[in-house]
Amino acid sequence: MSTFHKIAVSDIVRLTDTACAVEFEVPPELRASYAFQPGQHLTLRRVAGSTEDRRTYSICSTPAELAERGRLRIGVKLIPAGVFSGWLTGALQVGEVVEVMTPAGHFGPAGVGAAGNGRRIGCLAAGSGITPVLSITASVLAAEPDSEVLLVYGNRSTGEVMFLEQLADLKNRYPQRLTVLHVLSGEPQLSDLLTGRIDAGKIATLLAGPAADVEDWYLCGPFGMVTAARDALVAGGVPEGRVHAELFYAGGVPVDEVAAGEEPLDADRSDVTVTLAGRTSTVSVPYTGASILDAVLAARPDAPYACKGGVCGTCRAKVVTGEVRMTRNYALEPDEIAAGLVLACQSHPVTDEVELEFR
């Protein structure tokens, strides 16, 4: 089960005018707890008085850096009026201690570094969506000598490209196995493919050329880009199960809506039993309104969560008995849903009794 530890900041590197990389120095006794797979993320917690804020940031370093030197880095981009991102990009100092949850998430290729791996991976990112993609790219290239990566990275201008130097270093280190295409919407380039937004037309061009033999795609960025790119890849012949996506933002948390034709049952409540960290608790949850996670947190403040928007997947749980419905889902793959996994922050009971196990 994920848990928080207080970890010191060892370095802060400015990437652009509005973004930085924050590095944590994980002590030897905690390195096993923070071992991660490329593509996973960290949840940070900040408590001020009675207010607790949590934000999720993807890991941009590699597992080897953690194992060898105890270094764990995240990429942070300032969000306008963002209190948390403003603190991390403007006020945080080297040496400060931050509450950091152990790694979570299921975005990224499986079995990185496994013997015999020789694959061609496609990565498509926009803005700060490069953060997990950088970890995936660097890890695959370092651990799999027979694998190749095609990285398509969209931004408005060169000045907004996060990790520009790191990507150039990777290209110099693996010139035959890494292809990087910078697509800029606000600066004209020599090629039409590299000018403008990443859209269906550009993806069709990629699939007919440099991406023709890509086996799996990993997409990360804002909602509109990710969903449009996924649709374009599938329309271009890529099997749906070969397109994997993660969002860094999906808009505000929606108000729960009753499915068409159903009568609201606000007066009725379901008994929801949850197993968390080896302990079982039962809470009463309304059929509409507050989510199962909100009800559970009132009794079990140790329940894992971060975004509460169906994006990060930190609150994933398995339905053991009963039935729930999810308002939305941007974190679970179809096979995970088929296996009974749900996001507690988006789940509402359907049956009189529900049993969940947090994962």
- Nearest-angstrom CA–CA distance, 239 and 313: 23
Question: Does residue 288 sit in the same domain as residue 336?
Answer: yes
Neighbours of 192 (CB within 10 A): 11
pLDDT at site 311 = 86
pLDDT at site 359 = 85
Question: Which residue type is seen at 166?
Answer: Q
Q: What is the pLDDT of residues 272-297, one digit of tens each?
A: 999 988 899 999 998 888 899 999 99
Chain mean pLDDT for the chain: 90
Question: Does residue 151 sit in the same domain as residue 242?
Answer: yes
Which of 195, 216, 249 finishes a domain?
249
Q: What is the CATH classification number for the domain harbouring 219?
A: 3.40.50.80
Q: Output the six-digit token pair for 39.
A: 């593509």
Q: What is the pLDDT of residues 138-183, one digit of tens each?
A: 999 999 999 999 999 999 999 999 999 999 999 999 999 999 999 9
Question: Does residue 70 sit in the same domain as residue 150?
Answer: no
Q: Is 31 within the bounds of a domain?
A: yes
> What total number of domains does the chain contain?
3
Say if residue 317's pLDDT is above 90: yes
Give Dmax (Cα) for the chain: 64
Domain region containing 32: 4-101
Q: Is 254 within the bounds of a domain?
A: no
Stretch (H or E) spanning 228: helix 223-235
Q: Is 12 within the bounds of a domain?
A: yes
Which of 101, 131, 155 finishes a domain?
101
Handedness of CA 352, 353, 358, 359 (dihedral sign): negative
Question: Does residue 189 sit in the same domain as residue 124?
Answer: yes
pLDDT at site 252 = 44
Question: Does residue 77 sit in the same domain as residue 131?
Answer: no
Handedness of CA 29, 33, 38, 44 (dihedral sign): negative
How many CA within 13 A on the CB side of residue 88?
34
Question: Does residue 148 sit in the same domain as residue 221?
Answer: yes
Question: Does residue 209 sit in the same domain as residue 287?
Answer: no
Q: Is 8 within the bounds of a domain?
A: yes
Q: What is the pLDDT of residues 231-261, one digit of tens each?
A: 999 999 999 999 999 886 555 444 444 343 4
Backbone torsions φ then ψ of 258, nearest 5 degrees: -80, 135
Question: Does residue 133 sit in the same domain as residue 245?
Answer: yes
